[in-house]
């Protein structure tokens, strides 16, 4: 008889040394960087990839006949292929490079929304949305006469799926939903929500800014029509991102910015646009940013997105237990399925004061409404303190957070 296999406890990843900035003390303390929902730090591989582009490959793309321009174009095209594979899109042409999630959603709102929405049509958003997936649709609604409906949020921070089903109807033309709530960490069932929306002929846009760093994303499995994300939340550079659009939809969309590199021919009588996705990338793009974003994806893929998800789940459990053990601390958002984000309140201490005090101990968190003011209004609060985790965080970071919270409570005489 074979002996039973030993039970092994899950262990954290150990990649802190890959990130040069984490070796820098803050106010004389070890940096516990827990503001990853706002932006992640960059591994040495990404920093070196961007520097190497400028040192060895810098040239403008598509237009040049010289070797360096062709080489830069190859790198840019390879970056698009890397993003395509990362999202499991069907073809490279479905990936549009943008400045990030905000620009991606605005592109969809302008190029698809303005042409396809009319008075009386309904745009269905959710109460969990970031402002970037609210304001562009408000602008479209004002100009087209479309109406915005909102899926309510339950007390635990999950979307009311029964209400979602009731809100869907023949007038619903677009559903906009965040894959993961940046404020609460709630993971939304976007594949099921997409399936239901498609039954009514509605298109679905998924804001993936907070999901792509935390686990595997498969746009074909989700079956969404649009998927947007930002590189800087994915351990890549700022000012860079991508938008996935189902090819049949993208090919029928008109450009939202005109200029160089998005055209085939130009005359004063009219212009012929370039094929997709080049049609949506007017002007000189962030070539180095695309190369660095691809390097970030390569870095993460080598580690394994499943392993990163497991690592962050361990941190979330540890942090949840640590915060719940402190008197006067209330976690806001207790959904059954959450990513590595925990929002909380400390009785008697404003979140902004809390963030300032924790900073003195080298603990970096986010405090405020997290660009989710309607969600804060839903819970009757001005904002929360938010700790958000990444692959380089460890239990010591959470111990530092909990210890600093206890100090803050003593300072304010609460807890």
Q: Which residues are catalytic?
A: 371
CB-facing half-sphere around the CA of 344: CA atoms within 13 A? 26
Angle between helices 351-359 and 395-412 (to 10 degrees): 120
User: Which residues contact residue 165 at a Cβ distance below 8 angstroms, ignoring those fewer than 6 apart?
Assistant: 196
Beta bridge partners of 332: 343
The CA distance from 123 to 355, in Å, is 36
Closest CA to 279 of 263, 267, 266, 290: 263
Distance CA 91, CA 220 (A): 11
- Count CA atoms within 13 Å of residue 410 on its CB side: 7
CA–CA gap between residue 340 and residue 215 (Å, rounded) = 10
Beta-strand relationship, 366-368 and 384-388: antiparallel
């Amino acid at each position: 008889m074979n002996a039973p296999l030993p039970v092994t406890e899950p262990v954290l990843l150990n990649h802190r040394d890959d990130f040069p900035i984490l070796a820098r003390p803050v106010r004389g303390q070890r940096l516990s960087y827990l503001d990853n929902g706002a932006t992640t730090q960059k591994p040495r591989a990404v920093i070196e990839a961007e520097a190497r582009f400028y040192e060895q490959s810098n040239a403008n793309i598509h237009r040049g006949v010289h070797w360096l321009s062709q080489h830069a174009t190859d790198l840019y095209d390879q970056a698009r292929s890397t993003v395509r594979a990362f999202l499991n899109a069907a073809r490279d042409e479905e990936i549009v490079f943008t400045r990030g999630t905000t620009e991606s959603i605005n592109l969809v709102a302008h190029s698809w929304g303005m042409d396809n929405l009319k008075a009386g049509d309904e745009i269905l958003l959710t109460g969990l949305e970031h402002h970037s997936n609210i304001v562009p649709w408000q602008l479209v609604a004002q100009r087209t006469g479309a109406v915005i409906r909102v899926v309510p949020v339950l007390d635990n921070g999950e979307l009311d799926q029964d209400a979602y089903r009731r809100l869907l109807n023949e007038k619903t033309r677009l559903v906009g939903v965040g894959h993961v709530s940046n404020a609460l960490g709630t993971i939304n069932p976007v594949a099921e929500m997409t399936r239901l929306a498609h039954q009514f002929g509605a298109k679905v846009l998924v804001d993936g800014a907070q999901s792509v760093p935390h686990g595997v994303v498969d746009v074909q499995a989700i079956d969404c029509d649009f998927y947007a994300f930002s590189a800087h939340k994915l351990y890549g550079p700022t000012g860079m991102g991508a938008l996935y659009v189902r090819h049949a939809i993208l090919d029928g969309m008109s450009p939202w910015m005109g200029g160089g590199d998005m055209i085939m021919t130009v005359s004063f009588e009219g212009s012929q646009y370039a094929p997709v996705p080049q049609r949506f990338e007017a002007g000189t793009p962030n070539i180095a940013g695309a190369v660095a974003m691809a390097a970030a994806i390569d870095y993460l893929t080598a580690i394994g997105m499943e392993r990163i998800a497991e690592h962050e789940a361990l941190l979330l459990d540890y942090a949840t237990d640590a915060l719940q053990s402190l008197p006067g601390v209330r976690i806001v958002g207790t959904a059954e399925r959450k990513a590595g984000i925990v929002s909380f309140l400390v009785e008697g201490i404003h979140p902004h004061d809390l963030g300032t005090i924790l900073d003195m101990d080298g603990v970096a968190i986010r405090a405020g409404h997290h660009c989710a003011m309607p969600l804060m209004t839903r819970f009757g609060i001005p904002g929360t303190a938010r700790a958000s985790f990444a692959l380089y965080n460890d239990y010591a970071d959470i111990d530092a957070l909990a210890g600093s919270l206890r100090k803050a409570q003593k300072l304010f005489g609460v807890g």
